[in-house]
């Protein structure tokens, strides 16, 4: 019996359309789902939270390093107010700040080499038009996450490094 290829064509088209829809849905939706889950575990929005040191049993962030102290600030710009981020940069050790949008995209990063003694910037929506006397970081989404990382390069410096990182602020302007 000959196989009627035309009889299979509608099923092939439906399968291809379904596969493309599932793929696109996953590529768009999964990063948002991951960030939503992470942000609900981080604490109140527009507030900085200082994590405990990572151990094999305690992980506040994905793939943490036990040599780093992490601080996070989940943000929400939907009220219209920019988020003001300030932090001292501890001398003599590695330090960085990264801003992630709600799809886990890194939209800004600065480390101790380029930050100087402190950072002071605003996170604003992409369409923000008001001039500000601050460095401005435009976020493509209203929600996201600011992550601070500080290297504990010497255990004898732990108390001083922890004290410095706790001076960081993250609040609506």
pLDDT higher than threshold 80 for residue 70: yes
- Helix, strand, coil shares, percent, the chain, to 5: 30, 30, 35
Q: Which residues contact 11 (CB under 8 A, 6 or more apart)?
A: none
pLDDT higher than threshold 50 for residue 80: yes
Question: What predicted TM-score, i.e. pTM, was given to this entire model?
Answer: 0.80
Per-residue pLDDT tens digits for 108-141? 999 999 998 999 999 999 988 888 889 999 999 9
Q: What is the pLDDT of residue 60?
A: 55
Report the pLDDT averaged over residues 134-161.
Answer: 93
Q: What is the pLDDT of residue 4?
A: 64
Distance of alpha carbon 95 from alpha carbon 86, whole angstroms:
13
pLDDT higher than threshold 60 for residue 12: yes
Could you tell me the two tokens for 73? 């600030």
**pLDDT grade for 62, boundaries at 50, 70 and 90:** low
pLDDT higher than threshold 50 for residue 1: no
């Amino acid at each position: 019996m000959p196989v009627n290829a035309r009889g299979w064509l509608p099923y092939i088209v439906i399968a291809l359309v379904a596969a493309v829809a599932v793929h696109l849905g996953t590529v768009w939706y999964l990063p948002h789902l991951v960030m939503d889950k992470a942000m609900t575990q981080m604490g109140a929005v527009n507030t900085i939270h200082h994590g405990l040191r990572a151990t094999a049993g305690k992980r506040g962030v994905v793939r943490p390093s036990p040599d780093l102290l992490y601080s996070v600030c989940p943000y929400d710009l939907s009220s219209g107010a920019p988020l003001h981020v300030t932090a001292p940069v501890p001398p003599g050790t590695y330090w960085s700040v990264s801003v992630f949008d709600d799809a886990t995209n890194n939209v800004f990063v600065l480390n101790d080499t380029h930050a100087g003694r402190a950072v002071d910037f605003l996170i604003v929506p992409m369409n923000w038009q008001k001039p500000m006397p601050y460095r401005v970081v435009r976020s493509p989404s209203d929600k996201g996450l600011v992550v601070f990382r500080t290297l504990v390069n010497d255990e004898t410096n732990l108390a001083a490094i922890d004290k410095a990182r706790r001076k960081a602020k993250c609040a609506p302007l």
